[in-house]
Structures are given as C-alpha cells and as structure tokens.
A and B are shown apart, each in its own frame.
Chain A
Amino acid sequence: MERDDIIEYSLDAHHSEEDGVKKRKTIWKVTGILTLVTVLEVALGIFIKQGESASWTFVKWSFIILTLFKAAFIVLSFMHLGDERKTLKWVILAPYAIFIIYLIFIAFNEGSAVGTAM
C-alpha cells in the first residue's frame, strides 16, 4: 500500500544549479586543505626524527591535532554531518567523546604498567 503521509527527507537535500556552484567551490577548498595538511604531516615526519627530544613531542601532538582537524573536515563537510540536526550530530559523535577517550586512557595506562612489570 502506498502511503502518502511519509515525509520524503531524501528530497530535502536537492539544490539548484547556482547552489551547486557554491557547494563545489567548498568541496575543492576542503580538498586543498586536506592535501596541504597531509603534505605538512609527511614533511614533519621526514624532517623531524622520532626520539626523546622536545621537538619530537611537539611533532607527535601536532600529528594528533592535524589528524583530528582533517577528520573534522571529512565528517562535517564530505559526509554532510554539519548539515544534519544537532541531535543527530551528538548521537554520532558522543560515543567517541565518552568511550574511545576512556579506552585510550585505560589501555595506555595499563600498557605502561604491563611494560614496566615485565
């Protein structure tokens, strides 16, 4: 049975030719940003060697921040999560804020303890 009371959310995403030009411009801008960040990461990886030095600690944290930066662009722009409702954004992002950060904390602490004990 065909139902006429179901809302076709799929149609909400449609946009005009003019909007399309703007959206493509954004896509290429994000592409540029992602490429530049990747080039920067690789350059840091090649020129600053791993070790105990303070510069390596700085680079390591830069890698993590740049990765989150790239991930944010992919999720919010390419996956259009930025255009979704606030409730949906939280349903998707909250699990990481809670579980993965907790898991990282517990696993790395335990890992160090096991490493020292062995």
Chain B
Amino acid sequence: MAGQATKQIDSATLWGGKVSPFSASYGKLMMWFFLVSDALTFGGLLVAYGYSRYSTQESWPIGEETFEALPFLGNGFPLAYVALMTFILIVSSVTMVLAVEAGHRMDKKGVIKWMFATIIGGFIFLGSQAWEWSHFIHGTHFGRVTLNDGSVAIVKGDFGHFENFTITSVGDHGHHQVGDVITEDLEHTWQHAAQEGHVTKNSDGLFVSLHDGSTAKVNFAEGEGIENIELIIKQPGSVFTEKSAADNPESRITGEEAENLYFEALATGDKVVYGANMETNEYGPKQYGQFFFFITGFHGFHVFSGVIINIIIFIGVLKGIYHRRGHYEMVEKTGLYWHFVDLVWVFVFTFFYLI
C-alpha cells in the first residue's frame, strides 16, 4: 500500500478551500471564533465574581445603594446613571447595525453617517465610564463607618457644601492665625481629619483639627449642613445587627441616634473609609472593589479598542476602499465586535449592578 500519499488526486475530489462549510467568508468566521473565546473570558470573569460573592461572609453591596449618583445632580438617583450608560451603548449598537445595513446596499454616504454616530456614541460611553470610575474611587461624602460596637455601616443623608473653615484656636506649630479663613481643599482636609478622628461636634457646631494642631470651625453654605443621616448596618457588631432586607425602613438607624453614632465614629479615628482602591473600599468586601475595577475596566478596554477599530474602518470607508472592493464586509466585521461589546455590557449590567 506504499505510495498512497503521493498518488495524484484531481481537484474535483479534493476540497480545495473552495466552499466554506458555513457559507461565510474566512474573515467573518475568524471574527466569530475570536468573539467566542473572548465571551468565554468574560463568562469566566463573571463566574469568578459570583464565586467570590457566594463564598464571602461579609454582606455584599447592593447596586441601588452603591450607584445612585448623577453628574451635577448629586445623590438619590438609584441606577439612573448605569441605565443611561446602557442606553447609550444600545443606541450606538443600533447606529452600527444601520451602518452595516447601508453597506449591504452599497450606500457609502449612509455608512459614513451611521459609523460616525457609532464612534461618537463610543466616546460618550467611555466618558461616562471615566466619570463613574472617578466617582467610585473618590466615594461618597459620608464614607463607610465602623461604629463603636464594632458594627460597620454605610451612610446616607444630605451632606451640604462647605463654605469655608475658620481657625478658632492655634496649635503649637501653627502657621495659622485665629480668624484665618481656609477656602481651599476643604473636602480633602475634612476627610483626612475624619480618618484621624479629628472631627468634633458640640453645641457650637462642627470643628476639625488640622495638621499643625490648630482647630477650625466648619462652615456650610447658607441653610446647609450634615442632615438626615441614616445608617445601614452592613456587618453586625455587639449592639447593632445587620439587616439584609433593604426595603425594611426599620433596618436603618435614623434621627439623632444616627447622627450621634456617626460623629462619635468620626471623633474616634481609623473608623471611616472613603471611596475605593485595590486594598479597601467603602461599599463592601475588598473583592467587590477589585472585581469592579477589573470587570468594568476590561469591558471599558474593549470599548476603547472597539472605538479605535471603528475609526480605522471609518477612514477606510471615507477613502472608498470598501466601495471599490464591491462590498462593505469590513464594516460588518467591526460591527460584530462592536455588538459584542454591547452584549457583554448587558450581562455586566445585570450581574454587577442589578442583582
């Protein structure tokens, strides 16, 4: 039976790469295969997130409690911003599919119009995500506090805006004078003092101790102040117990009791956490912050590269490369990637923000 391999077989018998078993072009198939592997990566990430959430003992943050801020409007809008981001991505997916449809009719002007809209949508989404990250990292005005019984609570309420700090007494190494008015870097000074336990509340108002040992009175804008404090216990202590049902209004500590507990914590030191980093965050277990950065960051990186690829293809469309080629399949392929980015966000939205 020797020599079989060298025997000549005519091309009618051999498959010469002529017919694709899927009736799809090579490039489109490879884009699909890449998307399959990329989707498995995201699937793995989201499952890992679920694993951490199942295995942790600490109570996991609740989406509508964590994400409730809007740019310029402040707090009190649960999930509104992520819903807006989802809508932006859906719309940019629609403009992309319209570009693909225009390409199927060899309508160059249509492709240009809709691809341009897609790129703009991509930039708006990236900008939104940048704001969301910034807000997540800087955190709320209140932070998360450890109460004196050892329980941990997140804080809701009205913080107001600082007007200025006025020096009321000067410390040993003070470079301030009594009566000096500080107007810069107030938020940072306040948070630093709160973490050090240098915030005091008495009948005259709120006072912070500064680095140089001097004391300053905290002045809020007209008619504002720290009001309506509500504490939501996230980890039980010796007195307060955790209530997982957020819909039960009795699970929140409110009124004067909440206010006293909060300022007691700020006067103790090492009891308050602001914002998020890779080590700790004010929203919940540290894995929560790490997964937030990794999953939304990895998705954001995909959006970013999607915008770049869209721009490259857009230039090709403008130059008429695909029109001369006789088909706009390149637009279809970059469209597949762009829709995939939208698809991933649909899952991230549900499993990170809603559930």
> Which A positions have Cβ atoms within 8 angstroms of B?
5-17, 20, 23-24, 27-28, 31, 34-35, 38-39, 41-42, 45-46, 48-53, 60, 63-64, 66-67, 70-71, 74-75, 77-80, 84-85, 87-88, 91-92, 95-96, 99-100, 103-104, 107-108, 110-112, 114-115, 118
Contacts and interface: CB of A to CB of B under 8 A. Distances in A.
Given A31-B94, A49-B245, A111-B50, A100 B40 contact: yes
Given A5-B18, A63-B354, A96-B39, 9 more contacts: A10-B329, A14-B104, A35-B87, A42-B83, A46-B79, A80-B100, A100-B47, A103-B43, A103-B44
Contacts of A6: 17-18
A38 B36 contact: no
B97 A78 contact: yes
A70 B350 CA distance: 11
Given A10-B329, A38-B86, A92 B24 contact: no
Q: How large is the interface on B (under 10, 10 to 19, 20 to 34, 35 or more residues)?
A: 35 or more
A9 B57 contact: no
Contacts of B100: 80
Contact of B24 (A17, A34, A75, A88): A88
Contacts of B109: none
Interface in B248-269: 248
Closest 9 CB pairs of A and B: A111-B54, A51-B245, A49-B247, A114-B55, A10-B329, A111-B55, A88-B22, A111-B51, A67-B350
A87 B25 contact: no
Interface string B312-340: 00000000000000110100100110011
B23 A96 contact: no
Contacts of A51: 244-248
A23 to B, nearest CB: 5
A2 B347 CA distance: 44
A17 B105 contact: yes
If over half of A's interface residues share one DSSP class (helix, strand or loop), that class is named, otherwise mixed; here it is helix
Nearest to B21: A87
B104 A67 contact: no
Nearest to B60: A50
B219 interface: no
B224 to A, nearest CB: 27
Nearest to A112: B54
A14 B106 CA distance: 8
B327 A14 contact: yes
Nearest to B16: A5
Contact of B105 (A14, A31, A67, A112): A14
B89 to A, nearest CB: 10
Nearest to A107: B51
Given A14-B104, A14-B105, A75 B54 contact: no
